[in-house]
C-alpha cells in the first residue's frame, strides 16, 4: 500500500467511531453517501454561529460574510474540477437536480422531434429519466450504449449510434452499480465530432479521482456534494460559459433577475440566472470545506490508496465460494457489486448489518445495467479512502460464513 496514513484520516471522521449492534461501524455504503469530516461539520457550525445571512441582497456585515463564504465555495468548486471560471459553476441540490436543470433548459431549447440523445446502459436513473421526460415532451429518441460482459462500454457500438441527429451524449464517469470507469474524454470527443454536446455525470467520480472538466472537454458536468464528504442538499452543474449564456433560465424568482416590470423581466448573467430564490448557502460553504479537506489529503493519494484497497477487496471476494462479482472492468473505482449463491441480496445485507457492516443491497437506481446481467439486485460494498484492509477482511469473513451455510436467513 502506498504511503497513506489511513488511521490519521479516520480520526477526522467522528462517525467512524460509532458502534452498530455492539460492533464497530464499517461504512461500505460510500456510493450512496459519504461520511463527513469534522472540518465540514465545524464549518457548518461556524457559518451558523458567525456568518449566517442571506446573500447578495442585503447590505450589511453578515450578508457580506455569507456572500464571501458562498462565492468562495463556488471558486473552490471551480478549481477542484478545473473549470475556467467560477461563473461556470451553478449550485443546485444534487446531481439529480443538476441533470434536470440541463434537460429542462438547454434540452428544451436544443432538442426537438427526431433528435437523438445517447446515454449508456451504465446510467443511474437520474441520467435516464430526465431525458425520457424530455423525449416524451419533444418527440426525441433515447439511444443507449451497450456494455460487454465486464461492464465496459462498447465504444464501437457507441460510434455506430452517433449520427447527425444526435444532439446530446450523457454518460457517467463511474458507474454507481458496477464501478466501471468510462473513457469520458474519448466519449466527449466523439460526441463533438458528430456535432453533439456532452454531459458527464460525475456523481461517482469526483471523490475517487482527479477530474478536470476542461481536459475532458465536457459541455456539462454534474455532481452531488454529499458523495464527496460534503452535506446533503448541495450539488453542482458545471457548464461551459458560452453554452450557459445561450441557455434560458429554469426556475424564476428572486436573485436571478436584473430588473422586473409587469411587461418584461431582465435576467442576471451566469451563474445567477440559474439560481432562483435563496439557495442552500450553508451547505455550499460546507462543500467548499469538504473540497479543502480532500485537497489537503490529496485526491491523487486517495485514488492510489483506493485502487489498491479495491484490488484487495476484489481478491478477497473471489475467494468466497458461490460469489459472483458483477462488473469486472479493467478500470474501476470504489464499487464491488456481487451476488451470492443461495441468498437473496437483502439477506446478505441484513447479515452484514448485524455485524455492523453497512452495504447497499438492491437495484442501486440503475435497473438497466443490472438487467443486462440478468439481475434485479446486487450487494454493493463501495469503498472510500477511510476504509481499511481490516474492514475488508471483516466483510469477507461474514461472506465466508454465509457461503458455508451458516447465514441467518429469515
- Contacts to ligand PMP by CB under 6 A: 94-96, 124, 126-127, 172, 176, 201, 203-204, 224, 365
The nearest distance, CB 408 to ligand PMP, in angstroms, is: 28
Nearer to ligand PMP, 228 or 309 (CB): 228
365 labelled catalytic:
yes
Burial of 298 from C-beta contacts in 10 A (0-12 / 13-18 / 19+)? middle
CB 117 within 8 A of CB 111: yes
Helices (H) and strands (E) in the chain, counts: 15, 17
Distance, CA of 104 to CA of 108 (rounded, Å): 5
Catalytic option among 63, 365, 375, 389: 365
Count the Cβ atoms, other than its own, within 10 Å of residue 73.
29
Q: Of 183, 264, 202, 216, which Cα lies nearest the Cα of 84?
A: 216
Nearer to ligand PMP, 177 or 299 (CB): 177
Nearer to ligand PMP, 95 or 256 (CB): 95
Count the Cβ atoms, other than its own, within 10 Å of residue 52.
15
The nearest distance, CB 275 to ligand PMP, in angstroms, is: 17
The three grid cell numbers given for residue 275, joined into one nine-digit string: 439560481
Nearer to ligand PMP, 83 or 181 (CB): 181
The nearest distance, CB 124 to ligand PMP, in angstroms, is: 4
The nearest distance, CB 92 to ligand PMP, in angstroms, is: 9
Nearer to ligand PMP, 66 or 187 (CB): 187
Pairing of strands 166-172, 220-224: unpaired
Distance, CA of 266 to CA of 117 (rounded, Å): 31
Distance, CA of 297 to CA of 310 (rounded, Å): 19
The nearest distance, CB 241 to ligand PMP, in angstroms, is: 24
Residues assigned a catalytic role:
365
Amino acid at each position: 500500500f502506498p504511503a497513506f496514513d489511513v488511521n490519521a484520516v479516520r480520526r477526522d471522521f467522528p462517525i467512524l467511531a460509532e458502534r452498530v449492534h455492539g460492533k464497530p461501524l464499517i461504512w461500505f455504503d460510500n456510493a450512496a453517501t459519504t461520511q463527513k469530516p469534522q472540518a465540514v461539520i465545524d464549518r457548518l457550525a461556524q457559518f451558523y454561529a458567525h456568518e449566517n445571512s442571506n446573500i447578495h441582497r442585503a447590505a450589511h456585515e453578515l450578508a457580506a460574510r455569507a456572500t464571501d463564504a458562498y462565492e468562495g465555495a463556488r471558486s473552490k468548486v471551480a478549481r477542484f474540477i478545473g473549470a475556467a471560471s467560477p461563473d461556470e459553476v451553478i449550485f443546485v441540490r444534487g446531481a439529480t437536480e443538476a441533470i434536470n436543470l440541463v434537460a429542462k433548459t438547454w434540452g428544451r431549447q436544443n432538442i426537438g422531434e427526431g433528435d437523438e440523445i445517447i446515454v449508456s446502459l451504465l446510467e443511474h436513473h437520474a441520467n435516464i429519466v430526465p431525458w425520457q421526460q424530455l423525449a416524451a415532451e419533444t418527440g426525441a429518441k433515447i439511444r443507449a450504449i451497450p456494455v460487454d460482459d465486464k461492464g465496459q462500454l462498447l465504444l464501437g457500438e457507441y460510434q455506430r449510434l452517433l449520427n447527425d441527429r444526435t444532439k446530446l451524449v450523457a454518460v457517467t464517469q463511474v458507474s454507481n452499480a458496477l464501478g466501471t470507469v468510462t473513457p469520458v474524454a474519448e466519449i466527449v470527443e466523439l460526441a463533438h465530432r458528430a456535432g453533439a454536446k456532452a454531459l458527464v455525470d460525475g456523481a461517482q467520480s469526483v471523490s475517487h479521482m482527479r477530474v478536470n472538466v476542461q481536459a475532458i472537454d465536457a459541455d456539462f458536468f454534474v455532481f452531488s456534494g454529499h458523495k464527496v464528504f460534503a452535506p446533503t442538499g448541495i450539488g453542482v452543474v458545471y457548464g461551459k460559459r458560452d453554452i450557459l449564456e445561450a441557455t434560458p433560465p429554469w426556475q424564476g424568482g428572486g436573485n436571478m433577475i436584473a430588473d422586473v416590470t409587469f411587461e418584461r423581466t431582465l435576467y442576471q448573467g451566469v451563474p445567477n440566472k440559474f439560481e432562483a430564490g435563496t439557495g442552500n448557502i450553508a451547505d455550499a460553504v460546507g462543500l467548499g470545506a469538504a473540497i479543502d479537506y480532500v485537497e489537503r489529503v490529496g485526491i491523487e493519494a486517495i485514488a492510489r490508496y483506493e485502487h489498491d484497497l479495491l484490488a484487495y477487496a476484489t481478491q478477497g471476494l473471489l475467494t468466497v465460494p458461490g460469489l459472483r462479482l458483477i462488473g469486472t472492468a479493467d478500470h474501476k473505482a470504489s464499487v464491488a457489486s456481487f451476488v451470492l449463491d443461495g441468498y437473496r441480496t437483502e439477506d446478505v445485507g441484513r447479515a452484514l448489518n448485524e455485524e455492523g457492516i453497512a452495504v447497499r443491497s438492491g437495484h442501486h437506481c440503475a435497473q438497466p445495467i443490472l438487467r443486462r446481467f440478468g439481475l434485479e439486485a446486487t450487494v454493493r460494498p463501495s469503498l472510500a479512502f477511510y476504509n481499511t484492509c481490516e474492514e475488508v477482511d471483516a466483510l469477507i469473513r461474514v461472506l465466508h460464513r454465509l457461503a458455508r451455510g451458516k447465514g441467518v436467513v429469515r
